[in-house]
């Protein structure tokens, strides 16, 4: 399969222009799985929850409808981050759009910093999308919690689709470990540029990357330029969980020893 990312700089509040830029950038890309950044249709720094609700769209809204047309026409699997409006709720979500027209939506489990002032925390389940290649989704700060990627791997995911708006310098290195410890492929698509809003300035770190199931970096972007990169991988390799001839990553687990992993601790 062909696996890639489109690193870009969304313009805040300009969903129609951002989607048009995505469609133009991918006009000649076919038969591939492409990951886009977190909140790629709206931009990131919302001044308030009210502003997020105003700019958010339902999963069948105009932005994803336009991307569905692109996915069908070019035989693409697209994973795009978007602000999702659902009734009175607003979520930091990602949608995986299949060429068949089917849409799978994931709502970010681990909200970062000011996101807690804007978005609702969703009751999350980390599930794999069934198919010849099994996809799992997580969004940006989910990387910080190893349970997220492990849960997706245990659910059968071969490839982790990871839209991001990274401002901390650690994720790209940590995702190498996530792939190695779970024997999965991962595409982290970060955005570039700077946003000055709501009294804060955030610079996004770029360096989108594709990592294979042995922790090898297959592609990495610059930290400040729009880039489309696509590589060819054998995703089925992710289903071999052997570390040595005598060690299997999942068979050697000892869940009875890990009880605290699912115990909610009191706030410190």
- Per-residue model confidence as pLDDT tens digits over 173-231: 999 999 999 999 999 999 999 999 999 999 999 999 999 999 999 999 999 999 999 99
pLDDT tens by residue, 21-47: 999 999 999 999 999 999 999 999 999
Structural domains in the chain plus CATH codes: 2-240 (3.60.110.10)
Q: Which two tokens stand for residue 75?
A: 């035989």
Give residue 259's pLDDT.
Answer: 86
CB under 8 Å to 87, separation ≥6 — which residues? Answer: none
Q: Which of 38, 34, 81 is nearest to 190 (CA)?
A: 38
For residue 86, give the 3-state DSSP assignment: strand
Q: Which two tokens stand for residue 242?
A: 């052997």
Give the span between the Cα atoms of 164 and 207, in whole angstroms.
11
Which residues are marked as active site? 38, 108, 140
Give residue 113's pLDDT.
Answer: 97
pLDDT tens by residue, 217-226: 999 999 999 9
Q: Is the pLDDT of residue 124 over 80?
A: no
Give residue 183's pLDDT.
Answer: 98
For residue 225, give the 3-state DSSP assignment: coil
Is pTM, for the whole model, over 0.85?
yes
Give the span between the Cα atoms of 74 and 65, in whole angstroms.
14
Q: Is the pLDDT of residue 267 over 80?
A: no
**CA 60 to centroid of chain Cα atoms:** 19
Q: Is the pLDDT of residue 128 over 80?
A: yes
Give residue 181's pLDDT.
Answer: 96
- The CA-based angle 101-102-103, given to 5 degrees, is 115
Give the span between the Cα atoms of 214 and 212, in whole angstroms.
5
Determine which of 71-80, 92-101, 156-165, 259-268 has the lowest per-residue pLDDT on average.
259-268
Beta strands in 122-206, from DSSP E residues, in sequence order = 128-129, 135-137, 159-163, 185-189, 194-197, 200-203
Give residue 264's pLDDT.
Answer: 81
Q: Is the pLDDT of residue 268 over 80?
A: no
| Mean confidence (pLDDT) of the chain | 96
For residue 143, give the 3-state DSSP assignment: helix
Give the span between the Cα atoms of 72 and 99, in whole angstroms.
4
pLDDT tens by residue, 233-265: 999 999 999 999 999 999 999 999 998 888 887
Query: 1, exposed or middle or buried, with CB in 10 Å at 0-12, 13-18, 19+?
Result: middle
């Amino acid at each position: 399969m062909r696996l890639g990312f489109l690193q870009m700089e969304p313009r805040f509040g300009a969903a129609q222009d951002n989607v048009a830029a995505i469609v133009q950038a991918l006009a000649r890309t076919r038969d591939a799985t492409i990951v886009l950044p977190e909140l790629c249709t709206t931009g990131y720094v919302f001044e308030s929850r009210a502003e997020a609700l105003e700019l958010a769209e339902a999963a069948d809204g105009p932005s994803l409808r336009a991307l569905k047309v692109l996915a069908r026409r070019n035989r693409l699997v697209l994973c795009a981050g978007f602000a999702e409006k659902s009734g009175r709720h607003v979520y930091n979500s990602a949608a995986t759009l299949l060429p068949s027209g089917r849409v799978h939506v994931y709502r970010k489990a681990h909200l970062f910093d000011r996101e807690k002032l804007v978005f609702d925390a969703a009751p999350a389940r980390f599930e794999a999308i069934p198919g010849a290649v099994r996809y799992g989704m997580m969004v940006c700060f989910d990387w910080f919690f190893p349970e997220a990627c492990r849960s997706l791997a245990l659910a059968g995911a071969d490839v982790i689709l990871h839209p991001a708006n990274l401002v901390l310098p650690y994720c790209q290195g940590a995702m190498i470990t996530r792939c190695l410890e779970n024997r999965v492929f991962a595409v982290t698509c970060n955005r570039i540029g700077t946003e000055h809003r709501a009294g804060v300035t955030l610079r996004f770190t770029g360096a989108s990357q594709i990592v294979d199931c042995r922790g090898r970096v297959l592609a990495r972007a610059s930290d400040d330029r729009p880039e489309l990169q696509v590589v060819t991988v054998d995703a089925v390799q992710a289903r071999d969980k052997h570390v040595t001839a005598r060690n299997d990553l999942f068979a050697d687990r000892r869940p009875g020893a890990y009880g605290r992993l699912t115990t909610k601790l009191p706030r410190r």
